[in-house]
Amino acid sequence: MLGDDEVLKAVQSHIESRGKPLAGPLPGASAITWHSLLKGQIVRSIESRSEKKRLHRGPLDLSDRPVYDTLGDHRVPPPRDPAKPYSRKLVRRGSIDDRLCACGNGVVRCRRCEGEGTIRCAPRQRCHSCRDTTCCLLCGGDGRSALKPAGKQAGPPAHTAADTADRGRCMECGEPGVACVTCRGRGRVTCPTCQGEGSKPCPDCAQDGTVTHTHCAGTGRTVEWTEGVITRTPSTEEVRLPESGPLSWARKLADQHAAWTPTTLADDDPERARVEKDFGATLQPLLRTHDQEIARRTELAYVRFAKVAVHEHAHRIYYVFPTHGRPTVVGRPSPKRLWQIAGIAALVIVLLTLVNGLLA
Ligand SMILES: [Zn+2]
Ligand SMILES: [Zn+2]
Ligand SMILES: [Zn+2]
Ligand SMILES: [Zn+2]
Ligand SMILES: [Zn+2]
C-alpha cells in the first residue's frame, strides 16, 4: 500500500528527472488526494426449482432419473463453477403411472363421420356463373314470370346487348337468350364434389372410419409422472466503482499503469476492510446475497492511487499509481492549464477573425 511519503518522493524524482529541479522538498501531505477504484465482475448462480405433471405418449424408461420425496429438500452439491448453467430433471418417488391406453390399439372411431368413412354433402349447389345472381333474366329461375300480363310483348325485357350476348334458353320458362348457360336458368348445379351422390369421403379419416388416438399418439400406451426440475442460471454483474464522477480520466490511466490488487470481498480477504472503508454503502449491493443465490464467484480488482498538486508546477497534476516495483508517476495538464489553453485558442480565433475583417 502506497503512503504519503512514498508518493511525494516519487513525484519529486519524476519532476527532477525531467530536468526541472525544485527549489526545496515538496510540500507535505496536504497536496495529496487519495482515490480508490474497484472493477471486475461477480458471477452468481441462481437456482430455481419447479414441479409439474408430465405425460409421455408411448413407452418411456425413467429409471435412470434421480428420485426425490420433497423437491425443496433434495440436496444437490453447490456448483463448482457458478458461470456454468445447470439443469436436472428428477422424478417424484412413487408418481410414475405407466399404463396401456384405454383405446387398446392406438386408434379410435372417427368422430366426424361416426366411423362411416363418409360425410354428408349437398347434392346440388348454387350456380356461381350466374351474372349478378340472376339465373334467368325473365323468370328469375322459378319459371312463372313467363306468364306476363296481356298487352305486353313476350320476350326478354329491355336488356343491353352485352347482357344477353352469352345467355341461352331457360329450362324453366323456355325463353331463349335469357338464361345463364351453366345452370340453364335453374340457379343451381350438380355438386362437383359428390356428383349429386349426397355424400363424400370423410377428410378426417380418409374414409377409414378410424383415426389415431391423440392421447396416446397411436402408441396404445402412456406414462404419467410428477417431474421436478432444478435449474441453475448464471447471472453476471459488472462492477465499476465509483459508478460515475470526475475519475474517468484517472481510471484510464489506472488501467494502463497501476498494478490492481485482486479481491474477492470474502470474509477472509485481507483487502476487504480497506475496500469497505473506501466505498462504504455503495459496496453493500455487491455483498448482498441475491434471491435464490446458491453460489458466487467474485473477481474484482482494487487500486488506490494519489493525485498530487505541486505549487511550483501548477499547470500539471501528478497521478501516482502503485505497481509491483516503484510507483508510476504520470503528469497531466491541470484543469487550470486546460482552461488557459482553451482561452489562448479562443483568443487566436478572435484575432484571426479581426485580421480577416481588416483585410476584406
Ligand atoms: Zn390410446
Ligand atoms: Zn371419418
Ligand atoms: Zn347459373
Ligand atoms: Zn326463365
Ligand atoms: Zn355434394
At 183-205, the pLDDT tens digits run 998 988 999 999 999 999 999 99
Confidence of residue 101 (pLDDT cuts 50, 70, 90): very high
Distance 175 CA to ligand 4 centre (A): 6
> Based on the number of CB atoms within 10 Å of its own CB, is 166 exposed (0-12), middle (13-18) or buried (19 or more)?
exposed
Closest ligand to C-alpha of residue 189 is 3
CA–CA gap between residue 63 and residue 68 (Å, rounded):
13
Closest ligand to C-alpha of residue 156 is 4
Distance 106 CA to ligand 5 centre (A): 32
Distance 99 CA to ligand 2 centre (A): 27
CA–CA gap between residue 319 and residue 337 (Å, rounded):
16
Q: What is the pLDDT of residue 151?
A: 41
Strands 328-333 and 316-321: antiparallel
Confidence of residue 157 (pLDDT cuts 50, 70, 90): low
Distance 211 CA to ligand 2 centre (A): 7
At 45-73, the pLDDT tens digits run 999 999 999 999 999 999 999 999 999 99
Terminal Cα distance for the chain, rounded: 64
CA–CA gap between residue 17 and residue 295 (Å, rounded):
51
Q: Are 139 and 158 in contact (CB under 8 A)?
A: no
Distance 171 CA to ligand 5 centre (A): 22
Closest ligand to C-alpha of residue 187 is 3
**Separation in Å, CA 209 to CA 101, 108, 250, 333, 355:** 20, 9, 82, 92, 102
CA–CA gap between residue 282 and residue 235 (Å, rounded):
20
Q: What is the pLDDT of residue 152?
A: 43
